[in-house]
Amino acid sequence: MRRSGAAPGWSPTCPTAPEWGRAPGPHDPRTGRRPDADRGVPVSFEPRTVLDPARPHTLALFRIVTALLFSCHGAASLFGVLGGTHGGGTVPVGQWPGWWAALIQLAGGVLVLLGLGTRPAALLCSGSMAYAYFSVHQEKALWPIQNGGELAVLFCWAFLALAVTGPGSLALDTLLRRPAAGGRTGLTAARNQA
């Protein structure tokens, strides 16, 4: 079936044939390549095939940056470094909830940064930010942009995502659970060698 003005060999199943000016030719359904294609250029491109291998490393970078920023907040509140708390200084030891929140920020942030106990530490960090938002920020206004709670909301959801997805690559959890010689995990193998 040939339409007027269409390239020879055009078929309704391949709408791009008129654009190329030639028939698409048969292609291998397993590879998506045409046998006559120059240097095996794929007929269809899926970003997933290129981006999927980078997923664990991207997740690791997200985890590291998020945890570093979170632990910096804790260090600023506990030790007065990096400008301290609002206006400088530190949070008094044992003060509820500020000192405890700063302790969770520092310890939880470092654990998530290293990828050690990532899921429970990230869940604790997420919960502390949810508490901070609803107990401190939400009473001022409804929306985070109005009540200054954007960081609390972002940290809450970022750590919840890390608790669900796991640490990605470059994590101590992954290193310690990697099977060594003899089928034992890294930690068990290290204990048996010592």
Averaged pLDDT for residues 23-37: 58
User: What confidence tens digit (pLDDT) does each residue in 40-72 have?
Assistant: 555 566 778 878 888 999 999 999 999 999 999
The first and second tokens of residue 169, run together, are 């690559």
Residues paired with 185 in a beta bridge: 179
Burial of residue 5 (number of CB atoms within 10 Å: 0-12, 13-18, 19+): exposed
User: What confidence tens digit (pLDDT) does each residue in 132-189 have?
Assistant: 999 989 899 889 999 989 999 999 999 999 999 999 899 998 888 877 665 655 555 4
Residue with tokens 């290290």: 190
What's 3's DSSP letter?
A: -
The pTM of this model reads 0.67
16 versus 149: the higher-pLDDT residue is 149
| Cα dihedral 110/116/117/118 (nearest 10) | 70
User: Percent of the chain, pLDDT > 90?
Assistant: 42
The answer for 137, left when phi > 0, alpha when psi is -120 to 50, beta otherwise, is: alpha
Averaged pLDDT for residues 5-18: 48
